[in-house]
Structure 1
Amino acid sequence: MNISVSHFFITVHDPDEALAFYRDALGLRVVNDVANEGFRWVTLGSPQQPDVEIVLSQPHGGRPAADGDALLELLTKGSLPGVLFRTDDVDAFFESVRAKGAEVLQEPTDQPWGVRDCAFRDPSGNLIRIAQAPRG
């Protein structure tokens, strides 16, 4: 018996703004785009990991109003967990994402724990870190 990651969710204010970041700046491909009852769920993936998909969802989509309000408050404060991506050349990837207008939080830096990474905020304020894959 085994288990693997299939999907993970990132909460966003505006699916169109988020799509411009995740598709156009990060280079992910759209797998699915579903609208239901005034909300959208956009599923994206990486050609390098076709079995793992990211779902961009709105705070109130599919949730009770009070839960959506609480999630929106956390999103607005920038208090939701970040997402970590990996690339084989963090410096080149950083320049590509920065050139597309993403908000830079940290330029590529060698970290004391042994990775080289950089950081951005997506249009909703989510922390996005990009680390260089270990060479070996």
Structure 2
Amino acid sequence: MQFASIRLLTADLERLVEFYEQATGLPATRYTPDFAELRTPGATLAIGSLRTPELAGNPHVAAAANRSAIIEFHVEDVDATYQRIAELLGPDVVQTPTTMPWGNRSLLFRDPDGNLVNFFTPVTSAAQQRFARQAVS
């Protein structure tokens, strides 16, 4: 089994897609007005409109505010990334780049829908070894 993606459901697909394109520097593929994806070497961030459950034949699935998940991106240099996107994030920064006890330097912020996002860079040798097999772009 291989983890493939996380899908966010949103009331404003274009706003959320544009935010993630700017934050990650990755282009999104917009398949329909209701569905887009940002692909990374490890997994895909899928973004669907609130209509996507209905289109899939399950209109009773609804998006809800999630306060327990964190969407994480392994970045080459979290400090440089923060400098690049600080203006985009504005007041939605939860934690500026900070070295965590497990060896990752971490930037936490909220996307326009309030989802918690972590951009991180392994900085200790132990943390770097854990991620040595993963490609970063």
Q: Same fold (TM over 0.5)?
A: yes
Q: 1:113: Cα distance to partner?
A: 2.2
- TM-score (norm: length of structure 2): 0.75
Q: 1:18: Cα distance to partner?
A: 0.5
CA contact (8 A) 1:80 1:126 kept: no
Whether 1:107 and 2:106 are equivalent positions in the alignment is no
Q: What one-letter code is carried by the residue in structure 2 that aligns with 1:97?
A: I
Segments of 5+ residues of structure 2 without an aligned counterpart are 130-137
CA contact (8 A) 1:60 1:67 kept: no
Question: Relative to total residues, which structure has the larger strand share, 1 or 2?
Answer: 1
Aligned residue for 1:113, secondary structure, equals: coil
Q: What one-letter code is carried by the residue in structure 2 that aligns with 1:56?
A: I
How much is the aligned-residue C-alpha RMSD, in angstroms?
2.1
The aligned runs of 1:1-136 (5 Å cut-off) are 3-35=1-33, 40-46=34-40, 49=41, 52-63=43-54, 64-68=58-62, 71=63, 74-75=64-65, 78-79=66-67, 81-102=69-90, 103-133=92-122, 134-135=127-128
- Give the paired residue count: 121
Q: Percent identity at matched positions?
A: 22
- TM-score (norm: length of structure 1): 0.75
Segments of 5+ residues of structure 1 without an aligned counterpart are none
Q: 1:88: Cα distance to partner?
A: 1.6
